[in-house]
Every structure is written in structure tokens, then in C-alpha cells.
Amino acid sequence: MATESASKKSEFPIAPPIEPMLAKLAEALPPEGGYLYEPKWDGFRAIVFRGADDVYIQSRDSRPLDRYFPELHDALLTNPFHPDGMARDLDRALRMPLEERVERHTKLDAAVRRTTAVTWAEEFLAALGACR
């Protein structure tokens, strides 16, 4: 996986990390509607760098997010607009041994069950409290 970001930067067309453009605080909206609005839902903002056979997920503050979302790695490698790549990945999934499918589904199910808004908030507040 792409968790070893420093050694993998050269594999991407654009080398991570890059600093994203962030919103700026303003007193009022532009007068002629010259603005875009994007709601912030619960979740993470990320930039994904995709190479030929690897991905790197970067946070808005230029840190790696890969370790938090290991299940996304293979999903992001599949390009839905590349018919040959989709065929290859679908074939691999269909031929995947039952043991591997069970292992993957078990890990994903465990991650989904243990990560709720409440558990995330509790972990965040605990980490915040540890910063004192």
C-alpha cells in the first residue's frame, strides 16, 4: 500500500503532498454571485494521487490518510472509466478465493461496526484532552 509516502512520491504524475486551496473567511458574499458553495458533511476531505499501481490519500493539511482508510486502496486503484482495468478487477474479484473474501468482508464489517459518529467523537475528544 501507499503508506510509505516518502519512497513512493516518484510513482505519481504529480508528487504528493500538494497544498490544497482552502476556503477563506469573508464578511459578505461576492455581490454578483461569483462564488461556489460546497456543503461540509461529516467526513474527511482528501486528495487522492493515483499512479499506475498505487494510490496515496492526502489530508487537507498535507498529511497521509492512507492508514486510516486501508479498505479504500484497492477501490481507488480501479478506474471505472477504463474498460480493460474494470474487466481485470471484476475478474479478480469473481475469482477471489472464498477465504480471502471472508477475510476482507470481516475486516470491513468490523471497521464499519466500530466506527460510528459517537465513537469518532469520543476518540476525538479524548485526543483533544490529551493535548492539554
What is the Cα–Cα distance from 46 to 67, expressed in whole angstroms? 13
Q: Is 40 a catalytic residue?
A: yes
Task: List the catalytic residue out of 8, 24, 40, 107.
Answer: 40
3-state secondary structure the chain: CCCCHHHHHHHCCCCCCCCCCCCCCCCCCCCCCCCCCCCCCCCCCEEEEECCCCEEEEECCCCECHHHCCCHHHHHHCCCCCHHHHHHHHHHHHHCCHHHHHHHHHHHHHHHHHCCHHHHHHHHHHHHHHCC
Instruction: Give the residue numbers marked as catalytic.
Output: 40
